[in-house]
Amino acid sequence: MTQFSRRQFLGNSALAAAAAAVTSIPVLGSELRRPYGANDRLRIAVIGVKGRGLEHVSQWVKMPDVEIAAICDIDENQLHGANDRIEKATGKKPAYFKDLRKLFEDKSIDAVSVATCNHWHSLAGIWAVQAGKHVYVEKPISHNVFEGRKLVEAGEKHKKVVAVGTQCRSMKGMREAMAFLHSGKLGKVKLARGFCYKGRKSIGHTPEGQAPAGVDYDIWLGPAPVRPFTKNRFHYNWHWFWDTGNGDLGNQGVHQVDIARWGINKNEHPASTVSVGGRLGYEDDGETPNTQITVQDYGDVQLIFEVRGLETAKYMANQDKGAGVLVGDVFECSEGVMVVPTYSSAIAYSPKGELIQRFAGGEDSAHFRNFIDAVKAGKPETLNAPAIEGHYSAAACHLSNISHRVGEPKPLSTEDPFGKHEAANETYRRFRDHLKDNGVDLEKATFTMGKEIKFDSKSETISGNAEASKLLTREYRKPYVVPDSV
């Protein structure tokens, strides 16, 4: 089977023609592919300077061989924090662009770091590499499976370094823990568990209105369909809407999915995925699940992931009180357990709960530095988190959300929704107890039982479900189109 295209899923000739059309970003050649000496300063631009983007600014200004030459944000109200940090550290203000397309026309910019909303990650990255820039893009690498693959292809075609902001992959403690796990000292990994137990209160309801002064709302919408502006769809809460975000599974959870997939040593997509969950415990404007279980089947090993936005206790993976997890991972192995309670630490236990070894150490700065070193050396292969790894981890989250979105309501009184998969059913029973503890009436409330998504890892296609197949991509709004050919 060949690599899928948007044409296969949408069957819309007009849209296919738009995707094939030349975008406003020129495809540039080798004139921008210059080597960098050890003492050369890399000129970088930060796209999106609220929240995570400010962390990008803080990291780049610490590096003597990096210059933040420009910042880009559709919201002029967010510029002061970034400008102040850069000016304080360097003595000069960067150039400012509201429209990232204008930024990409600046041939003096060597690289960009992208900290926008999820629905802009891939397209911003694709346009950047087409314009001759290297790219550091925040997780998840994509808003859907199709565009993640296209960013991978773009980096390879244009010979640009494309790194993903899953910084756990550069943490000393995490790298040592994964090497220990892969060595077989805990035996075979039988099951990987990932956890995003992160409190998320109701966002309530907000009325439609006008975007704030200084905001270019059209560019902010970008590839997404036009919706009336509301505060709930804008800063940060965009995570909880399908047009722009991927829920907490694709927000915080993609870090832990990435660690879990790394631990089970799978550089591929799950063969099948199913989700159970919903937005439970309150009613608000949000669309994505705040409570979710997904089971991703890789054939000889499974990955079970849990999202809990309501109040909850830690998952206790071991008798040791230090082995609890709120946001992290657990690997159940034939000769013990490995618990990953933070970004940079892990603990290995024997089957009897005896401590075998602890792993710790690492800073976010190592991940940002890894990108700069790869760019200056011209060696994408030295990245700790290359685009393809980001694609596999993001796609696992997307497939889980697709399962949810094509699912059907079921009463919470349902028993054993995962059939004969006892580990998943045990997880569901804890899920149900958790909801009850948070005041959810199990006799009246329903959850969404997702459809099983069977996925071909090579062709990146879903078999037997046309509705699900459409969700591998989206109907892009002109001119913000991810093209079939990058």
Tell me the per-residue pLDDT of 420-439, one tens digit each, with 9 for 90 and over. 999 999 999 999 999 999 99
Structure tokens at 305: 């992931």
Check whether residue 101 and residue 155 sit in a common domain: yes
Gap between the Cα atoms of 32 and 112, Å rounded: 14
pLDDT for 3 beyond 50: no
Pick from 136, 129, 131: nearest CA to 157: 129
pLDDT exceeding 70 applies to what percent of the chain?
Answer: 91
Per-residue pLDDT, 53:
96
Cβ–Cβ under 8 Å, residues 125 and 154? yes
Check whether residue 181 and residue 294 sit in a common domain: yes
Check whether residue 127 and residue 206 sit in a common domain: no
Q: Rounded to the nearest 5 degrees, what angle is found at the Cα of 86, between the Cα atoms of 83 and 88? A: 100
Per-residue pLDDT, 319:
61
Per-residue pLDDT, 318:
75
- The angle, 0 to 180 degrees and rounded to 10, between the axes of the packed helices 52-60 and 79-90 is 10
Check whether residue 304 and residue 352 sit in a common domain: yes
Per-residue pLDDT, 38:
58
What is the biggest distance separating any 2 CA atoms in the chain, rounded to whole angstroms? 67
* Secondary structure of residue 262 in the 3-state scheme: helix
Instruction: With cut-offs at 50, 70 and 90, classify the pLDDT of residue 322.
Output: low
Check whether residue 112 and residue 259 sit in a common domain: no
Look at the chain and count its residues: 486
pLDDT for 198 beyond 80: yes
Give the domain extent around 201.
170-361+396-470
The torsion defined by the Cα of 477, 478, 479 and 481, in degrees rounded to 10, comes to: 60
Average pLDDT over residues 396-408: 98
Does residue 136 fall inside a structural domain? yes
Check whether residue 294 and residue 442 sit in a common domain: yes
Per-residue pLDDT, 317:
87
Per-residue pLDDT, 31:
36
DSSP 476: P
Cβ–Cβ under 8 Å, residues 375 and 110? yes
Average pLDDT over residues 180-206: 97
Average pLDDT over residues 217-239: 97
Check whether residue 145 and residue 213 sit in a common domain: no
Check whether residue 242 and residue 317 sit in a common domain: yes
Per-residue pLDDT, 32:
36
Per-residue pLDDT, 323:
80
Instruction: With cut-offs at 50, 70 and 90, classify the pLDDT of residue 461.
Output: very high
Cα dist from 221 to 79, 117, 214, 334, 476, whole Å: 19, 10, 15, 48, 11
Check whether residue 424 and residue 288 sit in a common domain: yes
Gap between the Cα atoms of 90 and 67, Å rounded: 9
Strand pairing class (162-164; 134-137): parallel
Average pLDDT over residues 414-418: 95
Gap between the Cα atoms of 427 and 188, Å rounded: 21
**For 267-287, what is each residue's pLDDT tens digit?**
999 999 999 999 999 999 999
Per-residue pLDDT, 23:
40
**pLDDT, the chain, mean:** 92
More confident position, 27 or 55: 55
Average pLDDT over residues 306-320: 90
Q: How many CA atoms lie within 13 A of 482 on its CB side?
A: 31
pLDDT for 229 beyond 70: yes
Cα dist from 203 to 10, 309, 377, 447, whole Å: 33, 12, 45, 20
The domain that holds 323 is classified in CATH as 3.30.360.10
Burial class (CB in 10 A: 0-12, 13-18, 19+), 5: middle
In 397-473, where do the E strands start and end?
A: 408-411, 446-449, 453-456, 461-462
Average pLDDT over residues 209-227: 97
pLDDT for 43 beyond 70: yes
Does residue 184 fall inside a structural domain? yes
The amino acid sitting at 176 is E
Cβ–Cβ under 8 Å, residues 323 and 312? no
Gap between the Cα atoms of 193 and 195, Å rounded: 7
- Helix, strand, coil % over all residues of the chain, rounded to 5: 35, 20, 45
Q: Which residues contact 309 (CB under 8 A, 6 or more apart)?
A: 198, 199, 200, 248, 281, 290, 291
Instruction: With cut-offs at 50, 70 and 90, classify the pLDDT of residue 37.
Output: low
The domain that holds 38 is classified in CATH as 3.40.50.720
13-27, 83-97, 213-227, 397-411: least confident range? 13-27
Does residue 483 fall inside a structural domain? no
pLDDT for 34 beyond 60: no
Check whether residue 223 and residue 244 sit in a common domain: yes
Gap between the Cα atoms of 150 and 484, Å rounded: 7
Per-residue pLDDT, 94:
97
Task: Choose one of 337, 352, 387: the last residue of a domain.
Answer: 387
Check whether residue 51 and residue 118 sit in a common domain: yes
Check whether residue 383 and residue 299 sit in a common domain: no
Gap between the Cα atoms of 210 and 217, Å rounded: 9
Gap between the Cα atoms of 221 and 201, Å rounded: 25
Per-residue pLDDT, 311:
97
Average pLDDT over residues 85-89: 94
Does residue 482 fall inside a structural domain? no
Does residue 142 fall inside a structural domain? yes
77-86, 126-135, 177-186, 217-226: least confident range? 77-86
Gap between the Cα atoms of 317 and 301, Å rounded: 18
Instruction: With cut-offs at 50, 70 and 90, classify the pLDDT of residue 39.
Output: low
Q: Looking at the 3D structure of the chain, how many domains does it have?
A: 2
